Amino acid sequence: MRPDVGFAGFVREHTPALLRTAYLLTGNAQTAEELVQDTLVRLYPKWDRVAQADVPLAYVRRSLTNGYINYQRRAARREYPHDDVPERVDPRDVMTQLADRDQIWAGLRFLPERQRAALVLRFFEDMTDEESAAALGCRVGTVRSLISRGLAALREQMAPT
């Protein structure tokens, strides 16, 4: 008999009982289904050992229970229930940020290629002047000059008219 046939037969026969057990542990049908599925997925690679147990269903139930306990331990470390959820207000104006981003992007398109490349490497890729110079194949002074002229051109484009 192939091991996957034995596994499939076990799953068909015992899933309702495992779901009941998982539901009683979790109190939630969806969480119970996930717990049973996770348990079966975890046991499938070593199904030969499970099938050789005196009572394979007891082996799987024990694994299911251990999985639930481990899940609860992990959840207890990351969940902190509160009576009142604090209100958090984001002080940033997202629409203004998007408009600024669009305006900067439009301004970058009109810069000469080397100025655009120097600005992108320096401010978007966060490279140092030395790293930018190596990437562009020029001297550090040239990169600084390109950045300075590029920023001046962007400021001029973005200035209110």
pTM over 0.75: no
Geometric angle at alpha carbon 42, from 3 and 65, rounded to 5° = 115
Class of domain 3-78: mainly alpha
The chain-wide mean pLDDT, for the chain, equals 86
Confidence band of 18 (pLDDT split at 50, 70, 90): very high
Confidence of residue 147 (pLDDT cuts 50, 70, 90): very high
CA distance 24 to 18: 10
d(CA 43, CA 59): 10
Mean pLDDT within 82-103: 75
Task: Flag the least confident range among 74-83, 107-116, 133-142.
Answer: 74-83
Domain ranges of the chain: 3-78, 105-158
Find the helix packing angle between 3-26 and 29-43, rounded to 10°. 150
Cα atoms found within 13 Å of the Cα of residue 159, Cβ hemisphere only: 8
Q: Between these two residues, 161 and 132, which has the higher pLDDT value?
A: 132
| Residue in this structure with the two tokens 């046939």, named with its chain if needed | 5
pLDDT for 1: 41
The answer to whether domain 105-158 has CATH 1.10.10.10 is yes
At 57, is the pLDDT very low, low, confident or very high (cuts 50, 70, 90)? very high
- Three state DSSP letters for 100-155: HHHHHHHHHHCCCHHHHHHHHHHHHCCCCHHHHHHHHCCCHHHHHHHHHHHHHHHH
- pLDDT, one tens digit per residue, over 33-42 is 999 999 999 9
